[in-house]
Amino acid sequence: MMLHKRPARPDAFVTKVAAEIAALRAAHERGEEPKITKAIWQDFKAAFSAAQHGRCGYCELPVVAGQHGDVEHFAPKAAVTEFVNWEAERGRETADLAKLTGRSPSKRLPAGYWWLAYDWTNYLLACAVCNSVWKGNLYPVKQPPVRGNPDEAQHETPLLLNPFGRRDPARHLRFGIDGSVEPLDQSDFGRETIRTCGLGRLALVQERNFSTTSAFGAVQQTRKELAAGVLPEDSEGLADLHRLGRLGAPFPGVVRAIIRQELGPLTWQQLDDLFGEAVVPVDLRRRQPA
Ligand SMILES: [Zn+2]
């Protein structure tokens, strides 16, 4: 998981949702349950896919390369659920499948955050497994939780990390060499995001394994080189880490988190300044005709 820049809200979106927002508010004022009927957000999936480089905002797996993907509502639009005990939460994963059974959260709010159904800042692209199998209508918040009221909800702090949020997931998630993940420094945001979106699910840990093993190997190589006096710009370990953490690599957010946790205060920006394409020297004189 990593931070992305939220796409700008198009005027066409504002025009399209105006009537729906007015209808929801009117229903609420009449004391009726607001009914969300038009999935207008799906028309704007490309904007979120472009901003997230086609990847799920939670697990980083490629979405549009192999499936339709969902425009996910960060705060659930139609209901909110929560876990009442460990047995209800745990569920059972099926080996070699994305299937999860026996996970049964209880309903907390019947109407959910209906006022955020057509809010551009409440969207992100997510894969079907994070969105439908794991997160569903879960939305952990710092106590006390909202009571279905837009005014009270303003003061709520969600405990989920958001790929368009202000908290860097690398400061809340700690990855192991085997692909496992745990909260960094007992972060509540890390813990709740892992348990809600299934970031520790077996198949995902397995999928991350190649990237995490490679990243930790490159960290070890870097430490050896730097101890031997090799300059950072000549370090093969650092060059490998840059390759593993670039946007086209399988799990760039995971690798950038490992760089931070193992080699901090080194930052991704510093590594990108050293090895990014933008600084590859080009000798223009050689391109001039003789
Ligand atoms: Zn996902």
Q: In three state form, how does the secondary structure of 57-126 look?
A: CCCCCECCCCCCCEEEECCCCCCEEECCCHHHHHCEECCCCCCEECCCCEEEECCCCHHHCCCHHHEEEE
The amino acid sitting at 144 is: P
Instruction: Determine the distance separating the centroid of ligand 1 and the alpha carbon of 199, expressed in angstroms.
Output: 8
What is the distance between the alpha carbons of residues 75 and 112, in angstroms, rounded to a whole number?
8
Low-confidence ranges of the chain (pLDDT < 50): 279-282, 284-285, 290
Please tell me the predicted confidence (pLDDT) of residue 281.
47
CB atoms within 10 A of CB 35: 11
Q: Beta-strand (E) ranges in the chain?
A: 70-73, 80-82, 92-93, 100-101, 106-109, 123-126, 173-175, 181-183
What is the distance between the alpha carbons of residues 281 and 46, in angstroms, rounded to a whole number?
34
Please tell me the predicted confidence (pLDDT) of residue 277.
72
Q: Which chain residues have CB less than 5 Å from ligand 1, an ion?
A: 56, 58-59, 127, 130
Instruction: Determine the distance separating the centroid of ligand 1 and the alpha carbon of 94, expressed in angstroms.
Output: 17
Please tell me the predicted confidence (pLDDT) of residue 205.
97
Please tell me the predicted confidence (pLDDT) of residue 227.
96
